[in-house]
């Protein structure tokens, strides 16, 4: 496990057995319990540069509480689904990218998991089966339909996404999404769809976005990505034909970069052939892995 | 890519660009279009042992149509979300396990993807954000909220699941779920949760279910599993301490098996130390991979 991957490595014990044990859960919701402080969906950073925590008394009395897990000292850790968040869709706040580079790794992971859960609760107030209201259940790891004739159970979503580098004749294929900062290139990516394996999704996405056919797909690393709830599955593949045909609805550009160009960009330099993805992105690790293989 | 993995390797071109192009999509819904015939959510098998297809005229006029992709000859392939399916939850039919062992691999993959999609539409009729009704959009790869003030967009779910073998002192850890046939043992498994990487999910699940701590987790293979829409992520890991503590709410039993015991069970023998998972399960491939490594 590469614990240097951003958003992985939370120090909390998820304590799965507590979620379905109403007595244990209630016993943990005491005055010692910790509440993750949030500003909307953004983290609140303390003066020590770490996540700021309060007590359950700090939560809006109308909020639903999500059980995040147990701290080292056995205290229950919670996050609140505040009424103000309900139904909203919150894109990542630019200030957040700053916080990502300064928060301790374990804190960033705890925050990411909490953000995904709180965001999911805020956007899943109704039963997709029957349209009735739902209520939080199992410490926030389920929502249950209030319609007695339905009793639908709904679970937080995790959406698998493939993200991949492609190698051909010693060069690496990287692409630019329109929303990227100028000169930034990164690994191509796309959601895994129903009915395909990770390897099929990798091959399909590279062909759709860049017109390149690949072989020998291998897994490299994974990352939870809380915007809103992706599981990034990082892969590497090989191509025999470097001809590129870009899908202009997905990409601004796609190019093959030499090893020297990738090595230079990965130093953080901004005057090379391209600007590399930032350290908190799993794409950064894919490039680092490729460079290290030599 | 291991194309021998069941439910992977559909021959259809997903033709992503068609989904958001209403004109192209309408042009494909002609008399030449193929409709995947379903009996509830089960496949209809023709006399040739392959999936049976009809035309769009065979669909219930009230059904929603999902675009599965293009056949080799350019014809559009569709599946119908029949009104009778709406809101139902259909567990896998025992007859289906038989079909899995006889359908051509590409057909099984096409069926699995179609089943996941149709099942998702049948169970997602309402907007989780606001409770209003939703309608099929983008050829069935989206549902859109009909509430003008909401306009929520919802996408078919794919739930990543880790499934893993563990090795300690040359033996392999396998477990029994209560629903398994007698003497069947298979790889442990569990859903990836928000806020964790694949590797973290593997380590957590093995510890939760068997009380075993693992290291050096590696990816082996993946499989789409359409009951209802999992992405199985097959891994292997190592343990130093073989002491087992079973979570009795999840498992009936968990044991370490020798290489000889695994080799014998993988011949299909039912008189060995255990009965191996069937060839259509990704766990079968994990065991095959472990045996082949020697």
| pLDDT on residue B3 | 45
- The mean per-residue pLDDT over the stretch A224-235 comes to 97
| pLDDT on residue B86 | 85
Q: Measured between beta carbons, which residues in chain B are less than 8 angstroms from residue A2?
A: 199
| pLDDT on residue A101 | 82
pLDDT in tens, A42-53: 999 999 999 999
Domains parsed from chain B with CATH numbers: 16-123 (no CATH), 159-293 (3.90.79.10)
| pLDDT on residue A95 | 78
Residue B161: name the closest of B246, B250, B235 by CA.
B235
Size of interface A-B (CB pairs under 8 A): 179
Contact A196 B133 (CB under 8 A): no
Contact A129 B87 (CB under 8 A): yes
| pLDDT on residue A260 | 97
Residue B37: name the closest of B18, B57, B19 by CA.
B57
CA distance B261 to chain A (A): 29
- Residue A1 pLDDT exceeds 50: no
Facing residue for A16 by CB, picked from B125, B132, B208: B208
For A153, A253, B29, B140, B227, the CA distances from A204, given in Å and listed in that order, are 33, 18, 24, 19, 23
Q: Measured between beta carbons, which residues in chain A are less than 8 angstroms from residue B1?
A: 197, 199-200, 203, 217
**pLDDT bucket at A294, cuts 50 / 70 / 90:** confident
**What does A91-117 look like in DSSP terms, one character per residue?**
PPPHHHHHHHHHS-HHHHHHHHHHHHH
**pLDDT bucket at A89, cuts 50 / 70 / 90:** low
| pLDDT on residue B98 | 81
Mean pLDDT of chain A: 95
In sequence order, which residues have a C-beta less than 8 Å from that of residue A182 and are 6 or more positions away? Answer: A275
**What does A214-231 look like in DSSP terms, one character per residue?**
EEEEEEEEEEEETTTTEE
Burial of A94 (0-12, 13-18, 19+ CB in 10 A): exposed
| pLDDT on residue B84 | 85
Element (H, E) at A25: helix A22-28
Can you tell me the ipTM of this complex?
0.96
Distance CA B175, CA B161 (A): 16
> Which of B197, B208, B223, B281 is most worth mutating to test chain A (most A CB atoms within 10 A of its CB)?
B197
Distance CA B288, CA A264 (A): 42
pLDDT in tens, A141-195: 999 999 999 999 999 999 999 999 999 999 999 999 999 999 999 999 999 999 9
Q: What is the distance, to the nearest Å, from the Cα of residue A46 to the centroid of all Cα atoms in its chain?
A: 23
| pLDDT on residue A21 | 96
Contact B200 A158 (CB under 8 A): no
Phi, psi dihedrals of residue A141, rounded to the nearest 5°: -100, 10
Contact A231 B198 (CB under 8 A): yes
Half-sphere exposure at residue A160, Cβ-oriented, CA atoms within 13 angstroms: 34
- The mean per-residue pLDDT over the stretch A216-240 comes to 97
For A2, A257, B287, the CA distances from A265, given in Å and listed in that order, are 22, 10, 42
Give the percent of chain A with pLDDT over 90.
Answer: 91
Chain A residue with minimum CA distance to B131? A131
For A171, A240, B162, B214, the CA distances from A291, given in Å and listed in that order, are 11, 20, 28, 28
Distance CA A155, CA A294 (A): 43
**pLDDT bucket at A200, cuts 50 / 70 / 90:** very high
Distance CA A157, CA A88 (A): 17
Q: Taking the CA atoms of B128, B129, B133 and B137 in sequence, report the sign of the dihedral they define.
A: negative
- The mean per-residue pLDDT over the stretch A92-96 comes to 76
For A271, B2, B190, the CA distances from A236, given in Å and listed in that order, are 26, 16, 25
| pLDDT on residue A90 | 65
CA distance B132 to chain A (A): 7
Q: What burial letters (b/e) apply to B250-285, b meaning 16+ CB within 10 Å? A: bbebbbbbeeebbbbbbeeeeebbbbbbbebbbbbb
CA distance B217 to chain A (A): 7
Q: What is the pTM of this model?
A: 0.97
| pLDDT on residue B90 | 65
pLDDT < 50 positions in chain B: 1-3
| pLDDT on residue B91 | 67
- Residue A2 pLDDT exceeds 70: no
Contact A222 B158 (CB under 8 A): no
């Amino acid at each position: 496990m590469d614990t240097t991957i951003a958003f992985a490595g939370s120090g909390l014990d998820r304590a799965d057995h507590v979620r379905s044990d109403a007595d244990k859960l209630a016993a943990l919701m005491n005055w010692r319990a910790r509440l993750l402080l949030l500003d909307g969906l953004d983290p609140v950073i303390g003066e020590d540069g770490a996540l700021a925590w309060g007590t359950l008394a700090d939560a809006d009395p109308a909020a639903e509480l999500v059980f995040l897990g147990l701290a080292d000292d056995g205290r229950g850790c919670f996050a609140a689904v505040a009424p103000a968040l309900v139904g909203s869709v919150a894109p990542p706040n630019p200030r957040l990218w700053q916080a990502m580079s300064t928060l301790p790794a374990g804190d960033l992971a705890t925050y990411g998991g909490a953000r995904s859960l709180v965001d999911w609760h805020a956007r899943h107030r109704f039963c997709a089966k029957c349209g009735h209201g739902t209520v939080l259940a199992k410490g926030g790891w389920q929502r249950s339909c209030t319609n007695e004739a339905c009793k639908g159970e709904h679970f937080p979503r995790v959406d698998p996404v493939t993200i991949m580098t492609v190698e051909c004749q010693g060069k690496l294929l990287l692409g630019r999404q329109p929303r990227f900062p100028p000169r930034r290139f990164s690994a191509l990516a796309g959601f895994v769809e129903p009915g395909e394996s990770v390897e099929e999704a990798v091959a399909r996405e590279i062909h759709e976005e860049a017109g390149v056919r690949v072989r020998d797909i291998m897994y490299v690393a994974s990352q939870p990505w809380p915007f809103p709830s992706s599981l990034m599955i990082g892969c590497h593949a090989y191509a025999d034909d470097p001809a590129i045909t870009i899908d202009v609805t997905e990409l601004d550009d796609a190019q093959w970069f030499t090893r020297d160009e990738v090595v230079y960009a990965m130093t953080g330099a901004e005057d090379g052939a391209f600007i590399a993805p930032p350290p908190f992105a799993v794409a950064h690790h894919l490039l680092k892995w490729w460079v290290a293989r030599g």
